[in-house]
Amino acid sequence: MMQQIRDTVDSIAKKQDISPDELHLLLTAEDSGGLEYLREKARACADAIYGDRIFTRGLIEFTNYCRNDCLYCGIRKSNGNAQRYRLTSEEILECCREGRELGFRTFVLQGGEDPYFNDDRVCEIVSRIRAEFPDCAITLSIGEKTRESYQRYFDAGADRYLLRHETADENQYRKLHPRTMSLTRRKQCLYDLKEIGYQVGCGFMVGSPGQTTETLYEDLQFIRQLQPHMVGIGPFISQHDTPFAQEESGTLDQTLRLLSIIRLIHPHVLLPATTALGTIHPLGREMGIQAGGNVVMPNLSPVSVRKKYELYDNKICTGDEAAECRHCLEGRMHRIGYRIVVDRGDYQP
């Protein structure tokens, strides 16, 4: 069994592709020696390109208003229990200032699809960050927009855009989203962003209700097609005020396997060990790095709003100041032999 797994791992690393059968084998294998080989091979692949350097991005969750109603998400518009908030431009800039002092050179502005932040307001914020922090990358993560809007943000100074595709399988997409949303449109957004010149990140949740090896295979194929610069994956975690409140969460084990597989089929990718991974296990982020990840994204949002950006239950770090998270992660990476670098952390082709 172990030999078969090793051969499969070597084969996917070599061709940078995976077949449905190979994926099935790697997601169901129980041989610990074989699984260790998967992890080691993925980690060696990341080491060869990025060495012991771990990139960091400061996440600023600037609004939890959202016009969408994704079934899994705690800030969906139907959740009347969510306490809504918006940060002002000045508050956002204050987060960036603190972040820059702490060594961040990338800011990720993430929010729900909030109509208040129209293109003029987004551009105003982006331009102000661009002017004050010329050496920092600006990443937006604010959902589906028209190509024209994406172009305007880019012209205002945004460099990167994160938009998880959530699942590349049509049926699965419909299970997770209201009818008004469409996978075709979401994929088109990602292609538009890439064409405009953004560094783009797609991604999906692991263990979302109804997900199968087949739908995951679609995700991996989509990653191969899109060739994103970043891929964000983390376990699905149920949120008590959503229709999926009673659904089982995704597992650490499956998420780690998928991180390794993604590293092997897309070696240069920027791959975060996500907060969701840190939420389902106290050492989840460390294990994510050891499975092939090379990015961590601590929170820079003001502590006063942290708990309100509750996409899923039990999210970690909601009571910790930015500086605490920064130092905490530094220690965590150090203990496993890696170091956080003060760097924009661009994709290395």
Q: Which residues bind ligand 5AD (CB under 6 A)?
A: 72-73, 164, 166, 205, 234, 236-237, 239, 276, 311-312
CB of 276 to ligand 5AD, least distance (A): 5
Strands 339-340 and 106-111 come out as unpaired
Q: Which token pair is 130?
A: 């661009």
CA atoms within 13 A on the CB side of 126: 29
Contact 200, 150 (CB under 8 A): no
- The interface mask with ligand FES, positions 287-316, x = CB under 6 A, is -----------x------------------
- Comparing CB distances to ligand FES, the nearer of 49 and 328 is 328
Backbone angles phi, psi at 312, to 5 degrees: -145, 165
CA–CA–CA angle 241, 77, 228 (5° rounding):
95
Q: Does 325 bind ligand FES (CB under 6 A)?
A: yes
Q: Closest CB to ligand FES among 198 and 312?
A: 312
**The entry of ligand FES, ligand 5AD, none that residue 237 binds, CB within 5 to 8 Å by partner kind:** ligand 5AD
> Residue 258's beta-bridge partner residues?
none
**62 vs 338, beta carbon nearer ligand 5AD:** 62
| Residue 135: strand, helix, or coil | coil
Q: Which is nearer to ligand 5AD, 56 or 141 (CB)?
A: 141
Contacted by 234, from ligand FES, ligand 5AD, none: CB < 5 to 8 Å by type:
ligand 5AD
Report yes or no: 288 and 274 within 8 Å, Cβ to Cβ: yes
Look at residue 199 and give the partner it binds from ligand 5AD, ligand FES, none, a contact being a CB closer than 5 to 8 Å depending on partner kind.
none
Give whichever of 70 and 329 is closer to ligand FES, judged by the CB atom. Answer: 329
CB closer to ligand 5AD, 11 vs 68: 68
The least CB distance from residue 74 to ligand 5AD, in Å, is 6
Say if CB 191 and CB 162 are below 8 A apart: no
Q: Sheet holding 295-296: strands in order across?
A: 295-296, 53-56, 339-340
Q: For residues 338 and 330, give the distance between their C-alpha atoms in angstroms, rounded to a whole number.
A: 9
Backbone angles phi, psi at 178, to 5 degrees: -70, 160
Chosen from ligand 5AD, ligand FES, none, partner binding at 320 (C-beta under 5 to 8 Å by type):
ligand FES
Binding of residue 328 to ligand FES (CB under 6 A)? yes
Distance CA 176, CA 205 (A): 11
Q: Binder to ligand FES among 320, 341, 344, 346 (CB under 6 A)?
A: 320
User: Does 101 contact ligand FES by CB under 6 A?
Assistant: no
Q: How many residues are listed for the chain in this entry?
A: 349
Contacted entry of ligand FES, ligand 5AD, none for residue 298, CB cut-off 5 to 8 Å set by kind: ligand FES
Task: Say how many residues touch ligand FES, by CB under 6 A.
Answer: 7
Read off the amino acid at residue 110: Q
Binder among 121, 195, 324, 342 for ligand FES (CB under 6 A): 324
The DSSP-derived string for 216-230 is: HHHHHHHHHHH--SE
CA dist 99 and 59 (Å) reads 9
CB 47 to ligand 5AD: min, Å: 27
Interface residues with ligand FES (CB under 6 A) are: 298, 317, 320, 324-325, 328-329
